[in-house]
Amino acid sequence: MRYLIFGVFLLWSFQARTQPSQQLRDSLNRLSQQDHQLMMQRLGITSLRPGPSGNPEAPNAANADEAKASPYTSLPDPLVFDSGKPVKAAAQWQKRQREIREAFDREVYGRMPDHTPAVTWEVVRTVDTLEGSYPVVRKELRGHVDNSAYPAIEVTLEMTLTTPARATSAVPLMLEFGWNFPANWPRPPVEHPTWQEQLLAQGWGYAILIPTSFQADNGAGLREGIIGLMNQGQPRQLDDWGTLRAWAWGASRALDYFEADRSVDARRVGIEGLSRYGKAALVAMAYEPRFAIGFIGSSGAGGAKILRRQFGEQVENLASSAEYHWFAPNFIKYAGPLTPNDLPVDAHELIALCAPRPVFISVGSPAVEGQWIDARGMFVATVQAAPVYELLGKKGLGTTTFPPQETALTQGDLAFRQHAGGHTVVPNWPTFIPFAARYFGSVAK
Ligand code: GCU
């Protein structure tokens, strides 16, 4: 009951104080729909298959029956060249990696422009403070994007960086894609140690980058932000980058900053995110070789889940006007006339692009989080990425059997764990941190 009351309060306060007005939301939806229509026109598509509902009670509810989940007969093989020849040696991987990247660029996440403008980081404020019982230094940062090519669009990246105050050398760091909750957002009681305190206990730091500060989370915003700046306010080309790729670009610019800040060891920086930011974290990890480790939370469709599986969220949902902006416009065509089976790549190859670096795939309990995320679809993708890791002398999950809840598969360089909670990574931090410590080392206690 207490939770129910809190929930209602949360909803009220969200709507009353933090949500854009209904009018603004309507107008954002309308603009997103218009841009989506324009992309369909350019693709020569007049109709799309609708996606299933995320509401398990709805007549068109997404499939949650494992027996109907795998209509596909095979997945694209990450270790076969486009020519049909097998990849036999580690030395050939780079060439194959380029082919896989090209397919993701063209058909799924879109191409990032070859030259993106410089970002000048400004330390707005530095404070000495406490995080729990840990003395820390917190820097509030703004990344100003050079917009001299098109001054009508201004783009600024917002980030905070928190490092242990007593560190005697540069520290490892986890970079989180952060949700932009306003300061007056009512939060549920947090359990200590928080994930931030757990990182500080290792002698590590953390940073939080706000993705929506430089690219809005809707189609209406595609002519603004970093994507809009590059296109000088014009609509996207069919293989142009989508929002996930743009958010990943921002994470790379954050890394540029860490390379210049002596409190951070930029060779030991990991990326973490949940849900749409879990997708973005995996894309960042796949495209940015300087990220040392990835902690990918409930990323689901468009992230770590096999798109060919008919379980939970589908390509048809991702291609709709509510979510297409995460991808290249070309991706829309896989919801009509093409199908997910026509995709030249699937999620296991996105994970494979991260090889040989460690990746931890996290998900919640279906009983709490629901089935939309498709835990098994992400597990299958992780299993199917393993041959690439093995080719490069690393280890996969060590099993092809889906583990019971709360069983950590962390022996290899690919890791998987389904926690008992909901749509959050929080219960998996205590498992992720020792996994990461194998690579980062523990700096201080
Ligand atoms: C929706 C969407 C998911 C996404 C999630 C989130 O449920 O369908 O793809 O991951 O929102 O970001 O919370």
Nearest residue CA, atom 12 of ligand 1? 276
State the average pLDDT over residues 252-277: 98
The residues pairing with 143 across neighbouring beta strands, listed in sequence order, are: 121, 157
Atom number of ligand 1 nearest to Cα 372? 7
Poorest-pLDDT segment among 56-65, 68-77, 360-369 = 68-77
Given this model, what pLDDT does residue 186 score?
76
What's the pLDDT score for residue 343? 98
How high is the pLDDT of residue 406?
98
pLDDT at 262 over 70: yes
pLDDT at 443: 55
Q: How confident is the model over 416-444, as a mean pLDDT?
A: 93
Q: Can you give the pLDDT at residue 18?
A: 53
Question: What does the pLDDT look like over 361-407, one tens digit per residue?
Answer: 999 999 999 999 999 999 999 999 999 999 999 999 999 999 999 99
pLDDT band at residue 285 using 50, 70 and 90 as cut-offs: very high
pLDDT at 431 over 70: yes
What does the pLDDT look like over 181-200, one tens digit per residue?
777 777 777 899 999 999 99
Counting residues of the chain whose pLDDT is more than 70, the rounded percentage is 95
Q: At 19, is the pLDDT very low, low, confident or very high (cuts 50, 70, 90)? A: low
Q: Is the pLDDT of residue 261 over 80?
A: yes
Residue 142's CATH number = 3.40.50.1820
Residue 445 within a domain? no
Name the DSSP letter for residue 309.
-
Whether residue 261 is contained in a domain is answered as yes
Q: Could you tell me if residue 340 is inside a domain?
A: yes
* Structural domain contains residue 106: yes
Distance of CA 87 from the midpoint of ligand 1 (Å): 35
Rounded to 10°, the helix 243-260/276-287 angle is 60
Q: What atom in ligand 1 is closest to the CA of residue 279?
A: 10
- pLDDT at res. 71: 80
Tell me the two tokens of residue 202.
């290792």
Query: How many C-alpha atoms does 49 have within 13 Å on its Cβ side?
Result: 14
Mean pLDDT of 207-213: 98
Report the domain count for the chain.
Answer: 1
pLDDT, mean of residues 6-17: 42
251-260, 350-359, 435-444: least confident range: 435-444
C-alpha 219 – ligand 1 centre gap (Å): 15
Q: Is 312 within a domain?
A: yes
Alpha carbon distance 254, 145 (integer Å) = 12
Q: How confident is the model at residue 250 (pLDDT cuts 50, 70, 90)?
A: very high
Give the ligand 1 atom nearest the CA of 299.
10
Which of 180-189, 254-263, 423-432 is least confident?
A: 180-189
Give me the pLDDT at residue 13, please: 42
Q: Is residue 145 included in any domain, yes or no? A: yes
Compute and round to an integer the Cα radius of gyration of the chain.
21
* Residue with CA nearest ligand 1 atom 13: 275
Convert the pLDDT of each residue in 136-167 to its tens digit. 999 999 999 999 999 999 999 999 999 999 99
In a domain, 248, yes or no: yes
Residue 235 lies in a domain: yes
Query: How far apart (Å, rounded) are the C-alpha atoms in residues 407 and 210?
Result: 32
Provide the 8-state DSSP code for 395. -
Stretch 273-282: mean pLDDT: 98
If one counts every other C-beta atom within 10 angstroms of the C-beta of residue 351, the result is 29
Domain carrying residue 366: 2-182+191-440
Which residues form the pocket of ligand 1, taking CB atoms under 6 Å from any ligand atom?
275-276, 300-302, 313, 317, 372
pLDDT band at 295 (very low <50, low <70, confident <90, very high): very high
The pTM assigned to this predicted structure is 0.95
Going by CA atoms, what residue is nearest to atom 2 of ligand 1?
276
